[in-house]
Amino acid sequence: MEVAILVYGGFDELDAIGPYEVFENAADAGADCSVSLRTIEATDPVTASHDLTIQPDGPLDAVEPDLLVVPGGGWNDRSTAGAWSAAEEGTIPQRIRALHDEGVSVAGVCTGGMLLARAGVLDGRPAVTHAGALADLRATDAEVVDARVVDDGDVLTAGGVTSGLDLAVHLVDREFGSEVAETVRTEMEYEPRGRVHR
C-alpha cells in the first residue's frame, strides 16, 4: 500500500506527521506499506502552521498512491497559508478530485476534510471535520456525522488534530489486521478514542 501524505504551506504538523509515524510503524511491524510526504509540485522545504519546516520526499506525481492523506490547518482562522487558502486557490482540490476519480482512496484529517469537500468527494457521503469547521462542512453536500473517524470505504475523514492518529491506526487495522495495529499502538503507547462511523 503506497500512502502519500500531501503537505503544503501552512498545513498542521500533527495532521501529517502523526499518520506518517503510524504508517511507518506499521511497515516496521511487517505491513506491506510505504509512506511519503508529497507536494503538488516539486518545491523547496515547506513551512507548516507552527513554523516547522520540512523537506518533502518529492512531488505527488512521482508516486502512484493507493491512499492520499490530506492534512488541514489554517482553515478556521482563514489563514493566508493553509487549507483555507489552498481551497480558495483550487489546485489541491482539483488534484484530490482527479486522484479519487482514478481510484485512489482519500482521507482528510481535521480541516483537510474541507479540502475533500471542496473537491466534491464528500458530496452525499458521511463526513466529519474539526469542530470549528463543522458549520462550513454542513454548508456543503456532505452528511455530517458525530464521530471521531468516518470510514466510508474509499473516502475517510477525521475530526480534530489528534484524530489523524486514530484515522491512521484504524486504517492499519482495516488494511493489515488487528495484530499489526496492536503492535503499532503498543510501540506508540497510543490508544485511539472516540467512535469510528462506518
Q: What is the DSSP letter of 63?
A: S
Element (H, E) at 166: helix 163-176
Quick: pLDDT tens for 143-177. 999 999 999 999 999 998 899 999 999 999 999 99
C-alpha distances in angstroms, 122 versus 22, 157, 159? 25, 9, 14
All cell numbers assigned to 106:
482519500
Between CA 81 and CA 39 the distance in angstroms is: 14
Handedness of CA 90, 86, 143, 77 (dihedral sign): negative
- Cell output for 92: 489541491
- Across the range 68-93, mean pLDDT stands at 97
Grid cell of 64 as nine digits:
502512484
Residue 67 grid coordinates = 491512499
The pLDDT, as a whole number, for residue 197 is: 98
pLDDT at 79: 94
Contact 70, 106 (CB under 8 A): yes
Indicate which CATH number applies to the domain containing 181: 3.40.50.880
Query: What pLDDT does residue 124 have?
Result: 98
pLDDT digits (tens, 9 = 90+) for 28-37: 999 999 999 9
Q: Is 145 exposed, middle or buried (0-12, 13-18, 19+ CB in 10 A)?
A: middle
All three cell numbers of 23, joined, read 504508517
**What global pTM score does this model have?**
0.98
Give the count of alpha carbons within 13 A of 86, CB side only: 33
Domain count across the chain: 1
Q: What is the mean pLDDT of the chain?
A: 97
Alpha carbon distances (Å) from 100 to 27, 83, 93, 159, 181: 24, 18, 11, 21, 26
Inter-residue long-range contacts of 185-188, CB under 8 Å, 24+ positions, other chains counted: 187/25, 187/28, 187/29, 188/21, 188/22, 188/25
Which grid coordinates are listed for 68?
A: 492520499
For residue 103, pLDDT beyond 90 = yes
pLDDT tens digits along 21-58: 999 999 999 999 999 999 999 988 999 999 999 999 99
Calculate helix-pair angle for 163-176, 178-188, nearest 10 degrees.
Answer: 150
Q: Which domain holds residue 102?
A: 2-197
